[in-house]
Every structure is written in structure tokens, then in C-alpha cells.
Amino acid sequence: MEAGQLVLVTLQNPREKFWGLLLSLTQAGVNVRGLDLQSLDDFTQLVKTGEAATASVVFFPMHRVQRIELDVSNGDFPSLAEQFTNKTGQDVLRFFAEPLT
């Protein structure tokens, strides 16, 4: 896994999933810019209607990380990024890119 790839991070204690752009992966943990998978539908709706929507930057310590997988299509099942683009007509990397200062 390399910085700049879209990933899905599965966490434990509590169990949750976080989807986003991998910023860094170290022995200490993982930094990701994205959103909790449970809020994907709400985030997609905000983007679709033109509302302000921004991704969060989070750090998860390695003891919470159960697994990290690349966000890629699997057979006929599209990736989360493809689903986002299909629903909104926009590129997810635009929303997960470095914010302008």
C-alpha cells in the first residue's frame, strides 16, 4: 500500500470501517483522509445536491487496524470510488485531495 491510494480500513474496538485516501502507513498507525463508511450515503447526497462536503483527516493507531484493502472493483461489483462517481458525477479524489489553504 502506498500513499495516494484509495483504501478501506476495517477497525476494531469499536468495529467500524473508514474509506478514503491513504496519507501514510507506519508501524504506529495509518493516516487517512476520507469518511466513515456509514456516512457514505449522506456524503454522496451532499455532493450531489451541491452542499459543502469535506473529508476528515484521521489517524488510527495500529492496534485498532484489523485490515486495510485497496478500493478496487471486484468482478461486476464496482469500487466505492466508482459508486461515488456514478451517484454524483464527480471524481472522489477531488474531495479527498489536499484542502486549499
Q: Is residue 94 part of a domain?
A: no
Q: Is residue 41 part of a domain?
A: yes
Q: State the residue range of the domain holding 61.
A: 6-82
Q: What is the dihedral of CA 86, 89, 91, 94, to 10 degrees?
A: -140
Cβ distance 29 to 9 under 8 Å? no
State how far the Cα of 98 lies from the Cα of 101, in Å rounded to an integer: 9
Cβ distance 82 to 73 under 8 Å? yes
48-87 per-position pLDDT tens digit: 888 888 888 999 999 999 999 999 998 889 999 999 999 9
Q: What's the number of domains the chain is made of?
A: 1
Q: Is residue 1 part of a domain?
A: no
How far is C-alpha 27 from the geometric centre of its chain's CA atoms?
20
Q: Is residue 55 part of a domain?
A: yes
Q: Is residue 91 part of a domain?
A: no
| Closest to 9 measured CA to CA, from 89, 29, 55 | 29
- Domain CATH code at residue 35: 2.30.30
22-41 per-position pLDDT tens digit: 999 999 999 999 999 999 99
Cβ distance 87 to 43 under 8 Å? no
